[in-house]
Copies of this chain bind each other. A is one copy, B any other.
Amino acid sequence: MHDRLPTLADVEAARSRISAHARLTPVLRDEALDAEIGARLHFKCENLQRVGAFKFRGACNAVFALDAAAAARGVVTHSSGNHGAALAAAAALRGIPAHVVVPERANAQKLRNIVEAGATVHRCAPTLAARESACAAIQRETGAQLVHPYADPAVMAGQGTTALELLDQVNGLDAFVAPVGGGGLMSGCAIVLRARSPHTVLIGAEPAGADDAQRSLAAGHVVPVAQPRSICDGLLATLGEINRVALATHRVEVLTVDDEAVRAAMRRLWERLKLVVEPSSAITYAVLCAQRERFRGQRVGVLLSGGNVDLEAWPF
């Protein structure tokens, strides 16, 4: 299945598979934020998902899609945070081992979530090479199945269940805005929205300092950013190739904003929505603020992807 784009049917199967475990997250609205943008905003609150991020959906789908023999050997991934915690939680629900390779300098709250969820944590240097080689070693030793954070059709299909749910909760969407890091969430949602709501405009929100998705869509192939920099610690990964294909196929446009705009948006969301959202989530509202005229009068789905902020440090 590893080179095929997931379909709407795959996302629907994922929804059935994870429905006993994932939360149906609420959609919140706020009059003052609507007025600031001049649009009707529907905030899909995946920060209220299990483990505090949409990542639980994809990890849960991947874990419960394994056959019994593969599942018994466990799962492994490398993750700076939310995917690792999600995979650990999903594995715990199925009663199988989870190994998570965590690079040094990871967000402390996300690391605590991984440990709380019961995974075996393996630290490594903060480079992609170190992460991949640590994963490969664990696979060799244990036979565990690698569950990639985003370049994995089962993970993409799981993330897409967010959009399926959102469409049931709102009365039509003119536009949909979601963050893009590796692209798992946006590719899963784009598959659903193109099939079910073909006229919805799909916007990916990306940090200006980690704009590999925007560059990759323009170039027609993955263009990594050498030194990605942003307070959006969940959006530093390089777009996956399968995710790039999904975004291009489903006509996703990527817009970028700088960290200052993200910080202001985060502050405003905490203040008005009373939600703890992480920078990687608030970037969607930052994009709306930066491009008000594009969204005027529209019904907009706004994905708040996670809420794992390190409360040891004051973010504002």
**Interface, chain A (partner B; CB < 8 A):** 26, 28, 31-32, 47-48, 50, 52, 109, 116, 267, 270-271, 273-277, 307, 311-312, 314, 316
Determine if B271 and A274 form an interchain contact, defined as CB atoms under 8 angstroms apart: no
Query: Is the Cβ of B274 less than 8 Å from the Cβ of A48?
Result: yes
How many copies the complex holds: the figure is 2
**B48 adjacent to A311 (CB under 8 Å):** no
Q: Chain B residues near A273 (CB, 8 Å)?
A: 48
CB distance from A26 to the nearest CB of B (A): 4
For A48, the chain B residues whose CB sits under 8 A away are: 28, 273-274
CA distance A316 to B48 in the complex (A): 21
A31 to B22: give the CA distance in the assembly, Å.
12
**Neighbouring B residues of A32 by C-beta, 8 Å:** 116
Closest Cβ of chain B: how far from A309's Cβ, in Å? 8
Q: How far is the CA of A314 from the CA of B52 in the complex (A)?
A: 21
**A28, A116, A276 pick with most chain B CB within 10 angstroms:** A276
In the complex, how many angstroms separate the beta carbon of A296 from the nearest chain B beta carbon? 22
Say yes or no: A47 contacts B274, CB within 8 Å.
Answer: yes
Residues from chain B with a CB closer than 8 A to the CB of A275 are 274-276
Residues of B within 8 A of A28 (CB): 48
B116 lies within 8 A of A307 (CB): no
- Shortest distance from the beta carbon of A40 to any chain B beta carbon, whole Å: 15
- Among A271, A274, A275, A276, max chain B CB count under 10 A is at A274
Enumerate chain B residues within 8 angstroms of A311, measured Cβ to Cβ: 267, 270-271, 316
Residue of A31, A116, A271 ringed by the most chain B CB atoms within 10 A: A271
Cβ of A274 and Cβ of B52 under 8 Å apart? yes
Question: How many Å lie between the Cα of A232 and that of B198 in the bound state?
Answer: 49
A45 to chain B, nearest CB (A): 8
- The one of B116, B276, B312, B316 that contacts A274, using a Cβ cutoff of 8 Å: B276
